[in-house]
Amino acid sequence: MRALVTGGSGFIGSHIVQRLVENGHKVRVVDDFSTGKRENLDPVARDVEIITGDVRDRAAMDKHAAGCEVIFHQAAVVSVPYSVEHPEETHAVNIMGTLNVLMAARKHGVRRVVFASSAAVYGDEPTLPKRESMTPDPISPYGVEKLTSEHYLRAFSRLYGLETVALRYFNVFGPRQDPSSPYSGVISVFVNRILEGKPVDIFGDGKQSRDFVYVANVVDANISAATTSGVSGRVYNIACGGRTTLVELADAIGHAAGTKVTKRFGEPRPGDIKESLADVSRARTELGYAPRVSIEEGLKNLVSYA
């Protein structure tokens, strides 16, 4: 297939690009390089068309979608706290960006759009595990933006027959996740600290839990979402379907790195949810999704990469 990956130089996007190239597909990347890094595409740079572009730029997106069969729409401002501080900016990127992608896809007869949604659409509702049949209740602009985008996808699929699939990522980790921003995912931060022989800072008692998922599994889900028939308009949780507490996580990273971990416990982070766990049975049944890389194996890969 000929694919466009928006945000293709970012953490998850670059892994999707790499797999597509390995599988012999033609790939175009559009990225504004605000957080994505050129070196993320170094392994495949010669085989990929890389365009500097902004999903807010409707005319540009229109041009770049031409000739593509599938769009993997990964470009977004991915930080929840940043969206709380800058809702206008994240609205423009995360909603208008999606709309621009959908309009361009429709115009150029793109077969399918696969969209990177988020567990943030569920908000703070304590029922576990999260199922796609639950009523979403986002509590941040970021969650609202991802949910709104999902609705646009479904509307375009109903109105115009454009095939769309939304994947609700839970806590994704793996190589190339940037550990250096205040909004970085906890695993990238902890791995960095542990490999430097420094203590890790746990916000709260460390009993909070997340459903961590290694990035290769997320790539598998994207490929299935692009190629499985009969799933247009659907949304899917993408996670492992298991719970790891922060204390367990720190110890597991220490184990993977072959070192003892010092934990410093501090104040809980404001706005944090206590637990997160996905039911992944819909993705399993309809997309054939099976998280084949365990958290332990993923951590081992990450530690040897870092």
Active site residue ranges: 142
For residues 134 and 274, what is the distance between their CA atoms, to the nearest angstrom? 18
68 near ligand UD2, judged by CB under 6 A = no
Per-residue x/- marks for ligand UD2, 24-63, CB under 6 A? Answer: ----------------------------------------
The residues facing 238 across adjacent strands are: 169
Residue 25 CB, shortest distance to ligand UD2, in Å, is: 27
Least distance (Å) from ligand UD2 to the CB of residue 181? 10
Would you count residue 91 as binding ligand UD2 (CB under 6 A)? no
According to DSSP, the residues that pair with 266 across neighbouring strands are 203
**Least Å from the CB of residue 219 to ligand UD2:** 16
Q: Find residue 50's DSSP bridge partners.
A: 29
Smaller CB separation from ligand UD2, 90 or 232: 90
Q: Which positions from 212 through 231 interact with ligand UD2, judged by CB under 6 A?
A: none
Asked if 186 touches ligand UD2 (CB under 6 A), the answer is: yes
Please tell me whether residue 208 binds ligand UD2 under the rule CB under 6 A: yes
User: Collapsing DSSP states into helix, strand and coil, what is residue 276?
Assistant: coil
CA distances to 6, 36, 50, 95 from 54, rounded to whole Å, are: 9, 12, 13, 13
Segments in 23-78 forming alpha helices (H):
58-65
Nearest by Cα to 75 from 101, 50, 49, 106:
101
**Sign of torsion, CA 135 137 141 143?**
negative
Q: Extract the tokens encoding 105.
A: 């896809």
Interaction between residue 247 and ligand UD2 (CB under 6 A): no
Q: How far is the CB of 164 from ligand UD2 (least distance, A)?
A: 20
Applying CB under 6 A, the residues found at the interface with ligand UD2 are: 78, 80, 118-120, 171-172, 185-186, 189, 201-203, 208, 210, 246, 269, 272-273, 276
